[in-house]
Structure 1
Amino acid sequence: MKRQYDLDWIRVLATLAVFLYHCLMFFNPWPWHVKNNETDPIYITAISLFMSSWLMPIFFAVSGINSYHALQKKTGKQYVKERMARLGIPLVFGVMILTPPQVYMERVSHEQYTGAFLTWLPQYFDGVYLDIGGAGNFAFVGLHLWYLLVLLIFSLFTLPLFLKKQPSVSKEIKVLHLFLLSIPLMIVSVLVDTVRLGGWDITFYLVIFLYGYFFLAKESFKTAIHKMLPVNIMVAILTTIIFIYGFMAGMSSSGEVLSILLALVKVLNCWSWLLVIFAVGDRYLSVSNRGLKYGNQASMPFYVLHQPVIVLLGFLIADVSWSIPLKLIFLIVAAFLIIMVLYEFLIARVSIFRVLFGMKGNGGKVPRGDSVLRNHIKM
């Protein structure tokens, strides 16, 4: 089976985008674990809005495609075992080790606690953490690691369906189908309200995940998105402008009709950007190099580790009298360097840490070359 390097690139670049997004969360006006002493309600908020509409959906789309390819060469038992190792272990590690310091810093920054971390630590199991600034402390989803939990649940519950019903290879994806596929997303976005994570209801992510498996993995999908690329680019740009302006103008709280219209615009924005990303990726990123091999291996540890580092640095510099641009540059550069040093000199070289961060144990040897591809995590 020919490897789709464009999907690897999309996953690696999306991981870096999540890193940038969480750096921006420190400065925009939205609730977060720690906040800067000054926020930017215009520029940083606009960038955050732009990224929020498509960033997490692209992960679930790629995960659905990878699930299809994984089940072409693995049994259901092998698939579950791999998912438990690659998603379940780092999730548990994150919940028990990486999350408590973040909740503690949130409590201190929100003036909900004033003591030392070790004094507070036993309180981590007091109540369930449900929202930023809420009463409960036990964050069973691991804060930013909710993606791992939701993807693990999706993978386990959809497995019987995937094993029973394979995508129809003969049925071609056409341009019209790309438009029709947006309709269920609109319905879910407007009518379903269960649990919202990362800007969308989890049922929205489920639909995207199923699309990845049943539709986006087809070769005919690539043909259709290339035909529609100019149109999708225009729709993506136009809906981005409307969505950002509408959100910042308060449309989401200006009545039911305007709120629904804004939600529909957001769905079109998300779907059009996904189609653009896949088309551009297939055209320009279907190649491998050393950077991709390294990024494939590092992407899961980077994802697991990035927010704890950002929260820690943000907690330390929140009240420093620097300008927002200077703090943002410092946060991006310092957090990236810390994460990569920890990855390169600890996580990648120590077998137990490799396993805890969703990699394969390798006896302390850092894989190079083609072995990186064999060890990378299929999300």
Structure 2
Amino acid sequence: METATRRYDLDWLRIIAFGLLIFYHIGMFYVTWGWHVKSDQASSAIEPLMLVVNPWRLELLFFISGVATRFLADKMPTWKLAGSRFNRLFWPLVFGMAVIVAPQAFYEIKTDLHYSGSYLEFWGKYLTGYGEWCDHEGCLTVPTWNHLWYVAYLLAYSLIFALIWPLLKRIPMQWAKSLPAWVYLAVPVALYWFCNGYLEPRFEETHAFVGDWAVHTISFGFFILGVMAAKFDRLFEIARRLRWLSLATGLAAYAMIAWLRYLYFAGKLPIPLEIAWPLGTFIESSQAVFLMVTLLGFARQHLSNADGPIRRTLTEAIFPFYIVHQTITVVAAYELNQLHWPLAIEATALVVITFGGCWLSYEIVRRIPLLRPLFGLTYKAKR
């Protein structure tokens, strides 16, 4: 996050956002929603907590990525920007699909299809696009990118941005810096509401890239909002001023959507579904945007000057953490589940193993120049 001076608040916010995402994926092992592997002790207990962050966890990452990409665009020519983003994202994606993500698919078919072959036998089939791991829901597509879909989508958006940036930067934007504060909130709420309420029911979320129009619209939309907001210091100052109001509004919206969800599943909706659906999606859109603004505001207030070795280390480490974390979680979760430990002990062990494994992976990778680019790091460490 380089400008004339470094934006430490955005560095920290990126670290926090990725950290929340890692905890979220650990939580996916214990909820009733579908995932690669499931705990024998899964329940709906933590689902309300998961639903606090679910609507905005990835949109915040795409927004921050847009901000970072804009800062890079001001420092280098377009061709160099495209090359920089390609090298940062493409090699981790390819390596991740071939090596890092493969164990997730292995444990998924062990769980769902009771696969009994060896990992090497599986991996050979995985790399050659074996298409017969199927159940009643369909067939597993391999190789796959699973959680690395974010990297694939970000790569595409970054290259599109590099292509259109020479035109975009010619558009006068001074007028946007003096808009009323409510506009800065209304635009992302409207974007989210359009995607959530109109596109999502028509285009199923697949993360398969082709045809994933609802996800592309909201993800690329927040990426571009980050690009546009990067140099609008007034936006971040508004977020700082409104941070407590945004927090209250976001939590109130969450409570309202939780109540509507309860009434719907209990068959007690007092209004027709034709009204409840757009109302609910609008409330959820408000929850997402106001909680994102809350994080921007508190980061601006408390982390703008928070520099030090911890910030510098985590800024570099968090992307390698993201690349490896889900595989560590899936493998550890499956094996821990076989031990039938009490839930609290098992969950604690899973958190420790996930973050410990991420840290160990980073410590190894950062010392080996040939591995560094495969995990999103520069070939040589910065001094």
User: Shared fold by TM > 0.5?
Assistant: yes
Distance 2:89 2:329 in 1: 22
After alignment, is 182-191 or 7-16 more displaced? Answer: 182-191
Instruction: Name the counterpart of 2:8.
Output: 5
Please, which of 131, 145, 150 is the counterpart of residue 147 of structure 1? 150
How many residue pairs get aligned? The number is 362
Task: State the superposition RMSD in angstroms.
Answer: 2.6
Q: Matched residues in 1 for 2:334 and 2:317: separation?
A: 25
Residue of structure 1 in register with 2:341 after alignment:
322
Instruction: Determine helix, strand or coil for the equivalent of 2:106.
Output: helix
Cα distance, 1:134 vs structure 2: 3.8
Q: Which amino acid aligns with 2:20?
A: A
Q: What are the Cα deviations for residues 186-244 of structure 1, in whole angstroms up to 9, with x where unaligned?
A: 12221113352689723111111111111354111123223332321211110122233
> Match for residue 60 of structure 2?
58
In the alignment, which residue of structure 2 is the partner of 1:374?
Answer: none
1:159-191: CA deviation from partner (whole Å, max 9, x where unpaired): 333221226145324312123212232122211
Can you list the C-alpha shifts for 1:278-300, whole angstroms capped at 9, x where unaligned? 11111111121110000011011
Bigger mean CA deviation after superposition, 53-62 or 192-201:
192-201
Q: How does 1:215-364 map to 2 (within 5 A)?
A: 215-247=229-261, 250=264, 255-287=273-305, 288-344=307-363, 346-362=364-380
Is the alpha carbon distance of 1:248 and 1:83 closer, same or farther for their aligned partners in structure 2, counting shifts above 3 Å? farther
Alpha-carbon displacement from aligned partner over 1:43-85 (angstroms, at most 9, x marks no partner): x111111121121111001011112111111111111111111
Structure 2 counterpart of 1:13, which letter? I
1:168 aligns with 2:169: no
Decide whether the 8 Å contact of 1:25 with 1:32 is kept in 2: yes
Runs of 4+ in 1 over 3 A off after TM superposition: 127-134, 197-200, 244-257
Q: Distance in 2 between matches of 1:360 and 1:216?
A: 24
Distance in 2, matches of 1:219 and 1:129, equals: 51
Report the CA distance shift for 1:174/1:206 in structure 2 as closer, same or farther (over 3 A): same
1:183 aligns with 2:183: no
Using structure 2 for the length normalisation, give the TM-score: 0.87
2:139 aligns to what SS in structure 1? Answer: coil
Partners of 2:219 and 2:132 lie apart in 1 by 23
- Partners of 2:140 and 2:326 lie apart in 1 by 20
- Give the TM-score normalised by the residue count of structure 1: 0.88
Q: Would the aligned equivalents of 2:333 and 2:350 in 1 still touch at CA under 8 Å?
A: yes
Contact 1:50 1:244 in 2 (8 A): no
Deviation at 1:133, TM superposition (A): 6.2
Q: Which residue of the partner structure matches residue 121 of structure 2?
A: 119
Q: Say if 1:47 and 1:217 are closer, same or farther in 2 by CA, change over 3 A.
A: farther
Output the CA distance in 1 between the equivalents of 2:293 and 2:300. 11
Q: How many angstroms apart in 1 are the aligned matches of 2:135 and 2:302? A: 40
Cα distance between partner residues in 2 of 1:188 and 1:321:
41
Shift of 1:252: 12
Would you say 1:14 and 2:20 are equivalent positions? no
2 CA distance for matches of 1:306 and 1:300?
A: 10
Structure 1 contact 31–132 (Cα < 8 Å) conserved: no
Question: Gapped runs of 5+ residues in structure 2?
Answer: none
| Separation of aligned partners in 1, 2:347 and 2:330 | 13
Q: CA deviation at 1:119?
A: 2.2
Show CA shifts across 1:230-268 (max 9, x none).
321211110122233444554699844433322222111
Task: Find the residue that maps to 1:320 and give its secondary structure.
Answer: coil
Question: Retained in 2: the 8 A contact 1:196–1:202?
Answer: no
CA distance, structure 2, for counterparts of residue 87 and residue 57 of structure 1? 18
Question: Is structure 2 residue 42 aligned with structure 1 residue 39?
Answer: yes
- Which residue among 183, 195, 205 is the counterpart of 1:196? 205
For residues 258 and 113 of structure 1, do their structure 2 counterparts lie closer, same or farther at Cα, with a shift above 3 Å needed? farther
Using the alignment, how far apart are the partners of 1:112 and 1:97 within structure 2?
A: 22
Displacement of 1:274 in angstroms is 1.0
Name the SS for the 1:352 alignment partner.
coil
